[in-house]
Chains A and B, each alone.
Chain A
Amino acid sequence: MEGTFINNIYTVILFPLWVFLLIILGRLLNVIQSRRVISLLTLASTLYGVIFAVVTFLYMLKTPDYVYENSYAFLRIENYTLNFGVFVDNLSVIMLLVVTTISFLVQLYSTNYMYKDRSFPRFFAYLNLFNFSMIGLVLSPNLFQNYVFWELVGVSSYLLIGFWYKKPSAADAAKKAFLMNRIGDFGLLAGTIAISYFIYRYSDEASLATVPFSNIGNIGDYLYSYTNDAVFVIICVLLLFGSFAKSAQFPLHTWLADAMEGPTPVSALIHSATMVAAGVYLIARLYPLYSLSDGVMNFIAIIGLITALICAYFAITQNDLKRILAYSTNSQLGLMFLALGAGAYTGGLFHLVTHAYFKSMLFLCSGIVIHSLAHQQDIRFMGGLRKYLPLTAACYLIACISISGLLFSGFCSKEMILSGLLKNNHYIFAVGFLIVALMTAFYMFRSYFVVFEGDFKGSNVPLKSPFLLNLSISILAVFTVFLGIFQKGFEHFIKFGNDIAQSENLLNPVFISVSIAVLGIFLAFVIYCKKNKIIKPKILYQLSYNRFYIDNFYDFLSKKIYYTISNICAFIDKYLVDGLVILAGLNTRALSWVFSKMQTGNFQSYLAYAVIFLAISFAVLMFAYTMIMQYAFLSGVS
């Protein structure tokens, strides 16, 4: 029974693609017009995926260390075979579960949320495209297929961010996200090709040259032995750049906040739970490779810590509700990177799972809030919404508690990370982690208090939230609350080496982190709920509000410097290259002017030219004749 499911798991990839094509072609051919049919098809395809994921997951639970691979040769060059297909192991199935369930709930939510939109079918088509590419990504058997779906995910992200393409800010944000991802994708592709090259060149096993995930440990060992340290680190950093761009890590983090221009369900699905987790997923996939070098691991951890710190810092002062959540996502992704880099492999991945649920719930809640306030996103015009949207407020509160690490699933995953950090003696990282936790609790409860407590500051009465919206967030709330139960199981299900999070000395970290979270919540309560006047340190506030001017710096980089270089190039092109062309033209014109002036029509001028030509040729002839005669004369003498 389960074997049937796992043998047909490739249909999970293809079903959303089929629905995508059906919607697009149906739109073109005017076959499918009904929104109900479209949403039902989409939901069916995703539910199909959920069922497969659950059954496969249960099957995997029963048979530990089971790995399923089914692929066919896509490209064959001599003894080099590039396979496309599906690959299922514990990590894939967990990701599959997360992707399909969240996708299903978000689609359920969008069925209502986007119903009034003119481009409803297009939206669902894109969602299906995203589903197809994301499931293809998590089920990739090798790095090349991974890359293909990685790009497809980027494309669907681009399409969905720019869904309201008539809004200039959305179009710009889509372009920004795409370009930022291009930087990372380039690194990923370069790294992939480099690994493939080294393995193919130096290893006897040509089958490893496609970088299959089933054998990544061997590949890492080979690569480590064939290359010197610098090359190895460079390859790893190139690959990591793909992860950094996709998961919006420090140098390339700016696109995620702007990506909030897309519809809220998209933010909930792609830019908080699934796609941005792909970077973490890839690191987990290539973990045996990265873990060979301490430098690479530390690099991951440091980048993650920097991102977590600065993005939490940015989130404190933002006024746009979705932007707060976006920076929160960014910061939590940073924590996952930190966890993976510092060796807390299981903790990082568990945080990925739990974060996916509560962060998508937060986004969906924010969607309800924005919807009920007629697209008002500024939290300064909200307040007191608990009276109008009690269920939303409750869910938001649950998610806030969870993300702060106070209770529920967030507590469990954060504890796992912290204990992992302490176990590996990364005390500096642990301190950084606690600072991030403090800021997280602070800004999350700031948003909660400002939005849901106090007095309502808007002009219109908020709308009631529809049933489907409530249903999806309720289900997510259930996930959020009870996911922590599976912590022990997860530790055994997903592990790297003998890394099992130690639960023995958990008491001290629990105490510290909970008290830190409580401190953050208390501060937020004092400042934002009780409206105590505090002196805002202006410089720090400005720095945070303007996000360290990193965006401005990129603007400067792109607009000023790039434009200057472009202008110089344009100048060269215009006056040097074109100038040469124009000069050639002018030459021709001048010559033709001369020649046309020569054509007087008077026969005597033609005679004169004949004479001149005759004279010149005769002079040349005489010269040559003289030379020849002299040579003959000289040679005759000698």
Chain B
Amino acid sequence: MEIDILKTLIFYGFAGATLFFALLSIFSFRILYSLLSAVCVFFAVAGIYFTLGADYNAVIQIAIYGIAVPILFVLAIMFTSDKLDKKTYITVQPRFFFSFFGLGVLFLSLIYLIIISLSLNSNIDWVMQKQAVFINKYQMFKAISDGFFVDYALAFELFSVLLLIVVVGISTLGLIKEKTDD
């Protein structure tokens, strides 16, 4: 079977960037650097979406996670920036090791699941040889709009209601007065 080496390189590049920036984001000293690394992660993930042919999703990802959410975070960082220092790095409580260990076990068992399914599933060849199909852009947009307005119209309407609730909820939260000592 012929391997598309370019596709492989693109995938590994985006995947490596994703993971690298994710780790960087968690282990960086300053919260602003964390946020910048997170933006990089979101961009890299958008690249991953491109490799799967989900162009529209990638654009939305960049628009929301790459731009809108970081702006919110920047606002939050702005009014807390005075309080930031190196004390708020990462914890050295026992939960550090516990979670490290727990996630390691989780990770290993999932990898094990994959290996087991690879070795036992008789249908594996079909799965392995299945390639991501880059479909026509017009078809993709049609499918997505069909999904939004036909198949999942109810979910879409509910989601609009949710957004309304959120807007009202956040306004209400912002109006809560600070408690006075009484």
Interface positions of A (Cβ within 8 A of B): 604-605, 607-608, 611-612, 614-616, 618-619, 621-622, 625-626, 629, 633
Contacts and interface: CB of A to CB of B under 8 A. Distances in A.
A611 B93 contact: no
Nearest to B110: A618
B103 interface: yes
Given A607-B99, A612-B102, A633-B120, A618 B93 contact: no
B91 to A, nearest CB: 7
Contacts of B110: 618
Contact of B109 (A604, A605, A607, A622): A622
B112 interface: yes
B103 A622 contact: no
Interface in B74-114: 91, 93, 95, 98-99, 101-106, 109-110, 112-113
Contacts of A619: 105, 109
B173 interface: no
Given A607-B99, A619-B105, 15 more contacts: A605-B93, A605-B95, A608-B98, A611-B103, A612-B99, A612-B101, A615-B101, A615-B103, A615-B105, A616-B105, A618-B106, A618-B109, A622-B109, A625-B113, A626-B112
A625 B95 contact: no
A611 B102 contact: yes
Contacts of A612: 98-99, 101-102
Contacts of B102: 608, 611-612, 614-616
B120 A618 contact: no
Contact of B116 (A604, A607, A614, A626): A626
B113 A622 contact: yes
A607 B99 CA distance: 8
Contacts of A633: 120
28 contacts: A604-B91, A607-B99, A608-B98, A608-B99, A611-B98, A611-B99, A611-B102, A611-B103, A611-B106, A612-B101, A612-B102, A614-B102, A614-B106, A615-B101, A615-B103, A615-B104, A615-B105, A615-B106, A615-B109, A618-B105, A618-B106, A618-B109, A622-B109, A622-B113, A622-B116, A625-B113, A629-B120, A633-B120
- From DSSP, what is the main secondary structure of chain B's interface residues? helix
A80 B98 CA distance: 77
Interface residues of B, number: 17
B95 A629 contact: no
Given A614-B106, A615-B103, A618-B105, A629 B98 contact: no
3 closest pairs, A vs B, by CB? A608-B95, A615-B105, A615-B102
Contacts of B105: 615-616, 618-619
B115 to A, nearest CB: 10
A625 B114 CA distance: 12
Contacts of B106: 611, 614-615, 618
A608 B102 CA distance: 8
Contacts of B112: 622, 626
Interface string B33-77: 000000000000000000000000000000000000000000000
Nearest to A629: B120
Contacts of A626: 112, 116
B113 to A, nearest CB: 6
Interface string B108-143: 011011001000100000000000000000000000
B120 to A, nearest CB: 5
Contact of A629 (B93, B103, B116): B116
A622 B112 CA distance: 8
B116 A625 contact: yes
A617 to B, nearest CB: 10
Contacts of A611: 98-99, 102-103, 106
Contacts of A615: 101-106, 109
Contacts of A618: 105-106, 109-110
B117 to A, nearest CB: 9
Contacts of B120: 629, 633
A193 to B, nearest CB: 69
Nearest to B121: A629
Contacts of A604: 91, 95
A628 to B, nearest CB: 11
Nearest to A607: B99
A614 B109 CA distance: 11
B118 to A, nearest CB: 12
Contacts of B99: 607-608, 611-612
